[in-house]
Every structure is written in structure tokens, then in C-alpha cells.
Amino acid sequence: MFEDDSEEDLKPPQRPTIQQQQVKPPEPVKKPEAPKPTPAQQRNQRMQRALFEDSD
């Protein structure tokens, strides 16, 4: 039982490493495109929007 647990524990870490490496390249390229602005950016956008509406 202990040996089985040890083998299973050793297997998972190796698999995620390969998956993470494959998922890492597309992530950085998708991050900038994804519409997920940081708190600071969101604040800036809100301020800009308020100014834009005021200007109108």
C-alpha cells in the first residue's frame, strides 16, 4: 500500500510538468488578449470613462 502511494505521488508531479510546459506558451500570448484588466487598469478605465462621459 505504501509503495503504491509513493509511486502515484511520484507520477503526478512528472505529468503536470509536461502539461504546464505545453500550456505555458499559449498562456502568455492569450493573457494580453484576454479581457482581464488589473485593478489599476480597471480604475484607469473607470476614470477615463467618467471623463469621457463628462466631456460628452
Please report the pLDDT score of residue 27 as a whole number.
Answer: 55
For 29, the domain range is 2-55
pLDDT number for residue 35: 66
Instruction: Give the pLDDT score at 5.
Output: 55
DSSP string, the chain: -HHHHHHHHHHHHHHHHHHHHHHTTHHHHHHHHSS---HHHHHHHHHHHHHHHHH-
Number of domains in the chain: 1
Q: Considering only residues 30 and 52, tell me which one the structure prediction assigns the higher pLDDT.
A: 52
Confidence of residue 17 (pLDDT cuts 50, 70, 90): low
- Is the Cβ–Cβ distance between 36 and 27 less than 8 Å? no
What is the pLDDT averaged over residues 32-48?
Answer: 74
CB 2 within 8 A of CB 10: no
Model-level pTM greater than 0.75?
A: no
